[in-house]
Amino acid sequence: MPTPARAVLICALLLLGLTVANAGLAESVTPDLQRAEVLAGMAAVGLMLVAVLWTRANPRSAEKVPLQGDQGLVISDQLNDVQKHELAWGSHMLLTATPAASVLVLWRQQVVLRRGLISQSPFQPGAITMRAMERDQTISLVNTSLFPGRAEFDAMLPSLPAILVCPMGDEGVVIVGGWSPRCFTRSDERWLEGWTKRLRTTLGAGDVSPVSRDSV
């Protein structure tokens, strides 16, 4: 519970305690005293409600999950300088401005970027990734423990607690793994979708030959 909410709750309990004590010490119960007791009780309950709402409005952030991987940056050498710069800039922004722990970009069946926490396992798109590309819609796995198909992303980084899969049509996809469950906001998704459209244009302007396996 946030400190301000805790302070409000303490005041509410103090007010409620004083109200009960006042009623117990009164020599006689008069209409005025009854009205005062009711108002004081309502005020105490109101303060308790404020404390609860304050806590819900400022929920405690989920703790980071300890992930296994090495910090690194791997960019395909088949890209030109403009494409490399775009990938480096966008992935840096994702890792610094969002709760992203790992970023992978797949373009024409080739992994052209890994950044953040990375593994050396070859990545192959599975059912969830292919569905995102076919529908050309972002898929958000807010808590991967609830999705049986999450194993397809273990080659990216094992046990990622949250994943965003943002397609570039049927030609590629950007996959972002988060540090904790439900860590990505709608704003993070919109930013990723905007950058993915820009990245698709940049990669499409060059020649990245498709390959049959992970080359980085």
> Given pLDDT bands bounded at 50, 70 and 90, which one contains residue 206?
low
Domain extent at residue 33: 3-57
Condensed to tens digits (0 to 9), the pLDDT of residues 9-19 reads: 788 788 778 77
> Given pLDDT bands bounded at 50, 70 and 90, which one contains residue 212?
very low
Residues 53 and 74 in one domain: no
Q: What percent of the chain has pLDDT over 90?
A: 57
> Residue 109: pLDDT above 80?
yes
Q: What percent of the chain has pLDDT over 70?
A: 88
Residues 31 and 109 in one domain: no
Residues 81 and 44 in one domain: no
* Residue (of 98, 76, 99, 97) closest to 87 by Cα position: 76
Condensed to tens digits (0 to 9), the pLDDT of residues 82-101 reads: 999 999 999 999 999 999 99
Residues 98 and 175 in one domain: yes
Domain count, the chain: 2
Contacts of 5 (CB under 8 A, 6+ apart): 50, 51, 52, 54, 55, 58
Residues 189 and 95 in one domain: yes
Give the range among 20-29, 69-78, 120-129 with minimum mean pLDDT: 20-29
pTM for this predicted structure: 0.69
- From 34, 57, 80, give the residue that closes a domain: 57
Mean pLDDT estimate for the chain: 85
The pLDDT of 64-91, averaged and rounded, is 92
Contacts of 147 (CB under 8 A, 6+ apart): 128, 141
Residues 195 and 110 in one domain: yes
Residues 44 and 110 in one domain: no
> Residue 61: pLDDT above 80?
no
Residues 142 and 45 in one domain: no
Secondary structure letter of residue 59 according to DSSP = P
CATH label of the domain that carries residue 101: 3.30.450.40
Residues 74 and 159 in one domain: yes
Q: How wide is the angle at C-alpha 79 spanned by C-alphas 135 and 212, nearest 5°?
A: 55
In a domain, 64, yes or no: no
Condensed to tens digits (0 to 9), the pLDDT of residues 145-174 reads: 888 888 999 999 998 999 999 999 999 999
